[in-house]
């Protein structure tokens, strides 16, 4: 059964019932009405009303429908509900749900999970409305599918309904009301179907047609290519995830994920792509995972734990300008003395008392004076003393507290842990990439090794003579967070890095060591970029409370695949999958199977060339390797 209406076009002829005036130019030549579709001129259309919705929605959840490759009209009809009416309706709904639950319980029947979920949602919604955190609205969501033939319309309808079902939405055809359904999707603000659903403010905002799961650009009016680093592709849309840390309020980032979630892989990928942009990077590597990457692009590799590698904590923060002149802060000696208090506290593994600090302060200044270094800046160019000199002065004073401190320093002066402190600093951290490997350090020296390398990097970052963007990466930061003095140093660096055009990256798998302290939470609060990868169920509750995650985001992090995570930039949060080119993957992967394949491939090739894909502007660069297989990428950076 169908009805057909027609209008005759002509200069002086018009049907009596046709719209008058200019509106007649927009009316179709003919309109054929069938139970489930319309034939409008040369087009076939079918309309649907959404009757079922997912329990929880995220920002841009309608994006798959809005970006459907075919022609689909999506219409939202919104009607606000008076707060008094909303409160009364919620009260009646809660009464019905509680009455049903009690009746079921009294009869000894099993509780309906759907009713239980609806009751929880009703209580939560009622509480938010009562606190004024949101309002209630009635929403009607309608779809109209367009096609050029009846056969194509059937295919498009099946595809759109399948897409709606994948979004947990139930799309029902407007049977015998096809004309009213089509009118509901026209820009006339007429809802002739009346299939409404109650939404609160947050859910309605997430359903707004112009929301998107992609990160917004810094300048929406710019047509230039996205700035920053490509992290991967968006799992909620067809877009890519670009983010520029140096466009945020601060440049710090925190990466949290369980072991095997792809945490170090993502950090190395960001490092490599930051080097493409000319950013100088320093990495503290506890597991020697960055060595291949460092050697492939001509970085500086400092292997702590070797007999020939030493770091002297007594070195003054003297910077060398590009013209060769030396410069230092006016209070350089005082700063170094204060830092040595932190160093001794980390070495001894305890907080120093007031008496110990007083004794230690006098011994530190006496050690510098013995080396000829005084408050006169002209003396700061002399060779700095060593930890052994401080221990000797402490022991020679005869004071019981000083003698105790000197004896406790013996393992680091003459004992098993003295290798790293037995001489002046050997290697200066210079170049576009510097990697400090801590794998071969004893566990007792890892906290102090991390602290000394951070101090070494910070002295270069704070050099006012060299101004360029820098990133400082601390992998497995829980090693330093376990020590209060080290955690305080990391906290100070996180707060001051922005002033020196630098960003601190904290990556760790032991979330409890970071979130379990106030300093750890403060470090996270000072990170404008927060990346959460797959989390263990035992730690997810603390993550949810700290980052204010929704239930959907919680389930996503528990079930996320390797490399998947949430990128939070303060006001925006997006789910992404990290993506690397084959050339980048060869440099950053730690998969034993892949490494074995690359080793076989390298042994079978003898041309000594390395291929690097810059990945930013589709530029490809082939660089010749030296005899050791090292490639210099400094000019490309």
Do β-strands 229-234 and 240-243 pair in parallel, antiparallel, or remain unpaired? antiparallel
Q: Model confidence over 549-596: pLDDT tens digits?
A: 888 888 899 999 988 999 988 778 888 999 888 888 888 888 777 878
pTM: predicted TM-score of the whole model, two decimal places: 0.62
All residues at 6 or more sequence positions from 380 whose CB lies less than 8 Å from its CB, including other chains? 316, 318, 328, 332, 333, 373
Report yes or no on 568 lying in a domain: yes
All residues at 6 or more sequence positions from 498 whose CB lies less than 8 Å from its CB, including other chains? 250, 251, 252
Query: Which of the residue ranges 16-20, 284-288, 519-523 would you say has the lowest mean pLDDT?
Result: 16-20
461 and 375 share one domain: no
Report yes or no on 374 lying in a domain: yes
142 phi/psi in degrees, rounded to 5: -130, 150
Task: Please identify which residue in the block is written with the tokens 């990928």.
Answer: 269
Report DSSP state, residue 306: B
Report DSSP state, residue 304: B
pLDDT at residue 131 greater than cutoff 60: yes
3-state secondary structure of 546: helix
pLDDT at residue 157 greater than cutoff 90: yes
What pLDDT, on a 0 to 100 scale, did the predictor assign at position 319? 64
* Residues 567, 574 contacting (CB under 8 angstroms): yes
What pLDDT, on a 0 to 100 scale, did the predictor assign at position 259? 84
Domain limit, last residue, from 531, 555, 577:
577
pLDDT at residue 172 greater than cutoff 90: yes
What pLDDT, on a 0 to 100 scale, did the predictor assign at position 156? 92
200: β partners: 136
- Between residues 617 and 293, which one has the greater pLDDT? 293
Question: What CATH number is attached to the domain comprising 517?
Answer: 3.40.50.300
pLDDT at residue 269 greater than cutoff 90: yes
What pLDDT, on a 0 to 100 scale, did the predictor assign at position 619? 35
What pLDDT, on a 0 to 100 scale, did the predictor assign at position 183? 92
Domain limit, last residue, from 398, 423, 448:
423
pLDDT at residue 629 greater than cutoff 70: no
For 143, 371, 414, 613, the CA distances from 137, given in Å and listed in that order, are: 19, 77, 75, 51
Domain limit, last residue, from 554, 577, 600:
577
- Between residues 414 and 317, which one has the greater pLDDT? 414
For 63, 65, 167, 492, the CA distances from 69, given in Å and listed in that order, are: 12, 9, 16, 51
Per the structure, the complete domain to which residue 508 belongs is given by 227-303+426-577
**In which band, very low, low, confident or very high, does the pLDDT at 147 lie, cut at 50, 70 and 90?**
very high
All residues at 6 or more sequence positions from 634 whose CB lies less than 8 Å from its CB, including other chains? 298, 431, 432
Question: What CATH number is attached to the domain comprising 317?
Answer: 1.10.8.730
Ramachandran assignment for 349, one of left (phi > 0), alpha (psi -120 to 50 degrees), beta (any other): left
What pLDDT, on a 0 to 100 scale, did the predictor assign at position 218? 59
Burial tier of 105 (Cβ tally within 10 Å: 0-12, 13-18, 19+) = exposed
Report yes or no on 557 lying in a domain: yes
434 and 543 share one domain: yes
**In which band, very low, low, confident or very high, does the pLDDT at 51 lie, cut at 50, 70 and 90?**
very high
CA–CA gap between residue 453 and residue 470 (Å, rounded) = 15
CA–CA gap between residue 80 and residue 68 (Å, rounded) = 29
Radius of gyration of the chain (CA): 33
Report DSSP state, residue 352: P
pLDDT at residue 399 greater than cutoff 50: yes
**Nearest alpha-carbon partner for 219 in 239, 237, 242:** 242
What pLDDT, on a 0 to 100 scale, did the predictor assign at position 91? 77
CA–CA gap between residue 309 and residue 426 (Å, rounded) = 6
395 and 459 share one domain: no
Query: Which of the residue ranges 102-111, 147-156, 178-187, 451-460 would you say has the lowest mean pLDDT?
Result: 102-111
Alpha carbons within 13 A on the beta-carbon side of 100 = 15
Burial profile 592-624: b = 16 or more Cβ within 10 angstroms, e = fewer: eeeeeebeeeeeeeeeeebebebbeeeeeeebe
What pLDDT, on a 0 to 100 scale, did the predictor assign at position 209? 67
- Number of separate domains in the chain: 2
304 phi/psi in degrees, rounded to 5: -65, 140
CA–CA gap between residue 328 and residue 342 (Å, rounded) = 21
Report yes or no on 536 lying in a domain: yes
3-state secondary structure of 452: helix
**Nearest alpha-carbon partner for 58 in 552, 543, 547, 530:** 552
- Between residues 302 and 99, which one has the greater pLDDT? 302
548 and 460 share one domain: yes
282 and 330 share one domain: no
439 and 555 share one domain: yes
439 and 548 share one domain: yes
290 and 329 share one domain: no
What pLDDT, on a 0 to 100 scale, did the predictor assign at position 46? 95
242 and 388 share one domain: no
User: How many residues does the structure list for the chain?
Assistant: 637
pLDDT at residue 286 greater than cutoff 50: yes
The 3-class SS string of 139-164 reads EEEEEEEEECCHHHHHHHHHHHHHHH
pLDDT at residue 238 greater than cutoff 70: no
Report yes or no on 69 lying in a domain: no
**In which band, very low, low, confident or very high, does the pLDDT at 15 lie, cut at 50, 70 and 90?**
very low
What pLDDT, on a 0 to 100 scale, did the predictor assign at position 22? 58
What are the structure tokens assigned to 407, written together?
Answer: 């004896």
What pLDDT, on a 0 to 100 scale, did the predictor assign at position 121? 73
Report yes or no on 548 lying in a domain: yes
Average pLDDT over the chain reads 80
288 and 437 share one domain: yes
CA–CA gap between residue 512 and residue 525 (Å, rounded) = 16
**In which band, very low, low, confident or very high, does the pLDDT at 224 lie, cut at 50, 70 and 90?**
low
* Residues 84, 209 contacting (CB under 8 angstroms): no
Residue ranges of alpha helices (H) inside 185-327 are 201-206, 263-276, 291-296
pLDDT at residue 261 greater than cutoff 80: yes
**In which band, very low, low, confident or very high, does the pLDDT at 614 lie, cut at 50, 70 and 90?**
very low
Q: Model confidence over 480-536: pLDDT tens digits?
A: 777 777 788 888 888 888 888 899 998 888 777 677 778 888 888 889 899 999 988
Question: CA quadruple 333, 338, 343, 344: dihedral positive or negative?
Answer: positive
3-state secondary structure of 441: coil
Residue 20, Cα to own-chain centre: how many angstroms? 57
What pLDDT, on a 0 to 100 scale, did the predictor assign at position 192? 92
What are the structure tokens assigned to 289, written together?
Answer: 């995972």
382 and 319 share one domain: yes
In this prediction, residues 340-359 reach a mean pLDDT of 88
Report yes or no on 588 lying in a domain: no
Query: How far from each other are the two terminal CA atoms of the chain, in whole angstroms?
Result: 70
Q: Which helix (H) or strand (E) holds 406?
A: helix 400-408
Report yes or no on 39 lying in a domain: no
435 and 554 share one domain: yes
CA–CA gap between residue 24 and residue 597 (Å, rounded) = 70
């Amino acid at each position: 059964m169908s009805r057909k209406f027609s209008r005759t076009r002509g200069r002086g002829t018009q049907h009596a019932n046709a719209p008058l005036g200019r509106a007649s130019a927009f009316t179709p030549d003919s309109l054929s009405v069938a139970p489930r579709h319309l034939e409008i001129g040369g087009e076939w259309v079918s309309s649907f009303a959404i009757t079922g919705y997912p329990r929880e929605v995220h920002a841009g959840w309608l994006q798959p429908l809005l970006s459907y490759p075919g022609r689909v009209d999506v219409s939202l009809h919104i009607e606000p509900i008076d707060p008094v009416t909303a409160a009364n309706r919620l009260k009646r709904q809660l009464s019905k749900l509680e009455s049903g639950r009690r009746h079921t319980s009294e009869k000894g029947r099993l509780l309906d999970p759907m009713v239980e979920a609806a009751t929880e949602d009703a209580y939560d919604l009622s509480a938010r409305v009562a606190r004024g955190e949101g309002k209630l609205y009635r929403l009607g969501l309608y779809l109209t599918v367009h096609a050029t033939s009846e056969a194509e319309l059937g295919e498009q309808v099946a595809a759109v309904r399948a897409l709606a079902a994948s979004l947990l939405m139930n799309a029902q055809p407007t049977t015998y009301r096809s004309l009213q359904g089509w009118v509901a999707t026209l820009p006339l603000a007429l809802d002739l179907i009346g299939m409404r659903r109650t939404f609160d403010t947050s859910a309605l905002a997430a359903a707004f047609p112009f929301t998107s799961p992609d990160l917004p650009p810094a300048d929406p009016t710019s047509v230039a290519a996205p700035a920053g680093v490509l992290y991967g592709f968006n799992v909620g849309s067809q877009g890519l995830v670009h983010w520029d840390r140096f466009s945020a309020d601060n440049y710090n980032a925190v990466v949290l994920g369980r072991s095997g979630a792809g945490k170090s892989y993502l950090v190395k990928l960001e490092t490599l792509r930051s080097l493409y942009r000319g950013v100088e990077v320093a990495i503290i590597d506890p597991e020697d995972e960055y060595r291949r990457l460092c050697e492939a692009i001509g970085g500086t590799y400092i292997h702590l734990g070797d007999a020939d590698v030493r770091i002297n904590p007594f070195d003054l923060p003297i910077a060398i300008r590009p013209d060769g002149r030396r410069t230092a802060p006016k209070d350089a000696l005082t700063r170094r003395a204060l830092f040595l208090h932190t160093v001794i506290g980390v070495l001894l593994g305890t907080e120093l008392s007031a008496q110990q600090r007083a004794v230690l302060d006098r011994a530190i200044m006496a050690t510098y004076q013995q080396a000829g270094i005084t408050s006169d800046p002209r003396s700061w160019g002399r060779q700095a003393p060593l930890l052994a000199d401080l221990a000797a002065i402490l022991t020679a004073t005869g004071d019981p507290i000083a003698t105790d401190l000197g004896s406790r320093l013996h393992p680091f002066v003459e004992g098993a842990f003295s290798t790293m402190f037995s001489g002046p600093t050997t290697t200066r951290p210079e170049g576009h990439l510097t990697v400090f490997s801590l794998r071969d350090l004893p566990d007792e020296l890892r906290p102090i090794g991390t602290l000394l390398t951070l101090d070494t990097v910070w002295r270069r970052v704070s050099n006012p003579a060299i101004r360029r963007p820098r990133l400082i990466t601390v992998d497995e930061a829980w090693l330093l967070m376990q020590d209060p003095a080290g955690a305080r140093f990391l906290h100070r660096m996180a707060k001051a890095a922005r002033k020196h055009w630098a960003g601190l990256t904290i990556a760790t798998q032991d979330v409890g060591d970071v979130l379990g302290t106030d300093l750890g939470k403060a470090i996270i609060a000072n990170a404008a970029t927060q990346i959460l990868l797959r989390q263990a169920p035992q730690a997810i509750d603390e993550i949810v409370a700290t980052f204010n995650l929704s239930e959907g985001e919680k389930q996503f992090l528990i079930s996320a695949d390797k490399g998947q995570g949430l990128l939070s930039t303060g006001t925006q949060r997006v789910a992404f999958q990290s993506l690397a080119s084959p050339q980048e993957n060869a440099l950053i992967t730690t998969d034993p199977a892949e490494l074995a394949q690359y080793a076989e491939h390298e042994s079978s090739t003898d041309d000594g060339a390395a291929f690097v894909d810059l990945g930013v502007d589709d530029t490809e660069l082939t660089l010749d390797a030296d005899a050791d297989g090292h490639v210099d990428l400094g000019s490309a950076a």
